[in-house]
Each structure stands twice: as C-alpha cells, then as structure tokens.
Amino acid sequence: MATTEWDKDFLDDRESEAEAVAFKAQCDADWQQAVRQVRREISEMYRGFERCADRACRRARRCMAEDCIMGLAVPLPDKVMRSLVQDVYAEIQQDRREAALALRPASRRCASR
C-alpha cells in the first residue's frame, strides 16, 4: 500500500544539516585561501622567493607555490597576521555576496538608497 505522507520535519532537518556542513566547508576553504594569499603577498613584499625551497618561486621571482611559506627572518606577530587574514577574508566574502546578488532576479533586489 502506497502512502502520500512523509516525515517533513526529518527531511527538512536533514537538508538544513547538509547545507550547514557545506557552508562550514566553504568558510573553512575561504579562510585557508585568505591565509595563503596573505602569506604569498608578505613573502613577495620581502622577496621571500629568494630563499624559497621551491625552484619555481626562485625562477619566477615571486611566490608560485600553492601554500607559499614566508621566508622572513622575523615572522609577523600573530595578532598582525590574523588582522591581515581577516581583511582578505572579508574581501572574499564581499565578492561572494556581490556575485550572489548579481545572480538574483532583478525583481528580488532591494533598490539602492
């Protein structure tokens, strides 16, 4: 016998949980991207590529490695590094927001004030 009833709450909870897991993974990936970008920019600013173990960085005279390591004799304080990473992370999130708003139908967008 077929039934036309289902556990709506269970399915909704399961979908919400999957969305939360995907969102957390995206946020973690964005944070790691921000960390890599800050490390790469600092390394390039201080010419870290000159001391880099990766030959591609030395040849290109800039950081090329996926997870570039700063070749600084004196590392930045954690508080400064975190602030820089937060700034880059905020830029990434703003870009995501702008892209999401651009995909919405024009009728659903709020008018600029």
pTM attached to this predicted model? 0.70
The residues spanned by each domain of the chain are 20-103
Sorted by sequence, the CB contacts under 8 Å of residue 81 that are 6+ apart come out as 38
Sorted by sequence, the CB contacts under 8 Å of residue 34 that are 6+ apart come out as 85, 86, 88, 89, 92
Whole-number pLDDT of residue 107: 46
Token digits of residue 90: 């905020």
Whole-number pLDDT of residue 33: 93
Q: Which residue has the tokens 């600092």?
A: 42
Q: How far apart are CA 113 and CA 110, in angstroms?
A: 9
Residues of the chain short of pLDDT 50, as ranges, are 107-113
Instruction: Count CB neighbours of 113 within 10 A.
Output: 3
